[in-house]
A and B are shown apart, each in its own frame.
Chain A
Amino acid sequence: MGEVELSCRAYVKMYLHACLFPRCSVNGLLLSSSSAGGAVCVTDCVPLLHSHLSLAPVTQLALTQVDVWCSQTQQRIVGYYQANACASDCSPTQAAMKIADKIAEQFDGAVVLMLDGSKMSPDYRVPPIVMYERKDSRWMLKDKHTIMLRQWEETHGIAIQMLESGDHSLLVDFDSHLDDITRDWTNQKLNAKIAELASPANGNI
């Protein structure tokens, strides 16, 4: 299938989400603000859960709320990401595929992104990502060469820098929002911080 582009903002937030909850499986949604057709540009992500990923109520609630926010902000849900608690296991779970199927119903080029926990340390120079796309109603591993990360070195650097300065504690996922509804799951503050660190060439698509 087609190319998938992953923005700095989306990657950094996913990375920080996984680092914020190192002992839990975490998941979230991939969003795009570009129009349909051509490459899928993942411009943002919404971190969802860090507990009970396979239970329905909070997942359903989150999907609905993110959907509404997307329609208000000219974005769409184009995929799903997950990082498993067990760092050496980066295979998608049954629950992950169920959510992915739901997303694929609304968007043809939906992707599933698994973060590979064993490759997330700073010394790894390659994106710790495994992606799946839908071909003939089955989810297949996506060719690495069709996954683009613009300015990867800089993106990687920003992720590590923010982790080391403790900025991951600023990240709010939907689970945390439910614990304290004054916390913003759209992460505007964190987005601003990422934008500050990124050069214009690595800005939002």
Chain B
Amino acid sequence: MASVSEMYDVGWEEMRDKLRKWREDNCRNSEQIVDVGEELIGEHSAKLGDDIWIIYEQVMIAALDCSRDDLALTCLQELRKQFPDSHRVKRLSGMRLEALERYDEANKHYDAILQDDPTNTAARKRKISILKAQGKSPEAIRELNEYLEQFVGDQEAWHELSELYINEHDYGKAAFCLEELMMSNPHNHLYCEQYAEVKYTQGGLENLELSRKYFAQALRLNNRNMRALFGLYMSASHIAASPKVSAKVKKDNIKYSAWAANQINRAYKVSCDFFRKDLNALNPLI
């Protein structure tokens, strides 16, 4: 089988830099990381200097993701040798146990870390991940709420909580989490759009109007967000069709939905020759 360096005609420095980029962007392209990382470690470890340790960690996690326990164990053993008392490495041991579904042992690892260092957020989050993996959503939600009381600025945790609430159909609480995220990330169009989708799902005139506003806001922040564009069309159309709105509100929403329909049509005309979208197709929504 051809090596990565042969297939893509790259040298070890480029492979190392690619791994760094993926680390910085927090990409979860685990199969690629395993391919590149395994070759880098196998053939060029001496050249990597101190970078090798963080690469071992990155490759180990990717290997767990791809059920490559052989590779994960190799990386873990190197890290254990180099950093025998490290909490960071202990957490990786725990993650390996999680991948092998040995959750009780994994929890023991994390509890040991927390005994030593009660502020270790990584260990706490792993424990919550175990609850999620075991399908114990209510417990995961409870623990995550407790975690967020202490670590109120943890964006990743707020987003995870919003996802858990959405899966449990607790849209009100999901909306609250997304509000926190929007406050601290006012320029993130994805949070606006997700918030709008939750409001739309909750239903009722007030929520529909809020959803329309936030779909519009998401579009202001990123005018190529198709979900926001469709969302604007659908929410405005539903509001216009509601018997409870005034003539003025009806008129305004017809205008918004027509604008959105126009934008959608244009987007499809420009992008797709084989895939002509007739906006009449969307009228059944009204």
Binding site for B on A (CB under 8 A): 52, 54-58, 60-61, 64-65, 67-68, 86, 88-89, 93-95, 178-179, 181-182, 184
Contact = CB atoms under 8 A, between A and B. Distances in A.
B227 interface: yes
Tell me which of A54, A56, A58, A60 has the highest count of chain B C-beta atoms within 10 A of its own C-beta: A56
Contacts of A88: 135
A57 B166 contact: no
B285 A55 contact: no
A65 B284 CA distance: 10
B2 to A, nearest CB: 15
A58 B272 contact: no
A182 B271 contact: yes
Interface in B232-274: 234-235, 267-268, 271-272, 274
Interface stretch (B51-59, B85-93, B111-119, B194-202): B194-202
A54 B169 contact: yes
A95 B169 contact: yes
Nearest to B272: A182
Chain B contact residues, majority secondary structure = helix
A86 B131 CA distance: 12
A165 to B, nearest CB: 13
8 contacts: A57-B227, A58-B227, A60-B234, A61-B285, A67-B284, A68-B278, A95-B169, A182-B272
A19 to B, nearest CB: 12
A56 B281 contact: no
Contacts of B268: 181
Chain A contact residues, majority secondary structure = helix
B32 to A, nearest CB: 12
B122 interface: no
Contact of A56 (B167, B200, B278): B200
A56 B226 contact: no
Contact of A64 (B169, B200, B227, B281): B281
B201 A55 contact: yes
Contacts of B197: 52, 55-58
B133 interface: yes
B226 A64 contact: no
Given A52-B197, A64-B284, A57 B271 contact: no
B200 A52 contact: no
B281 A89 contact: no
Tell me which of B167, B194, B272 has the highest count of chain A C-beta atoms within 10 A of its own C-beta: B167
A171 to B, nearest CB: 16
Contacts of A55: 166, 197-198, 200-201
Contacts of A67: 284
B275 interface: yes
A204 to B, nearest CB: 21
Contacts of A54: 166-167, 169, 201
Contact of B230 (A57, A93, A95): A57
Contacts of A64: 281-282, 284-285
B230 A61 contact: yes
Contacts of B285: 60-61, 64
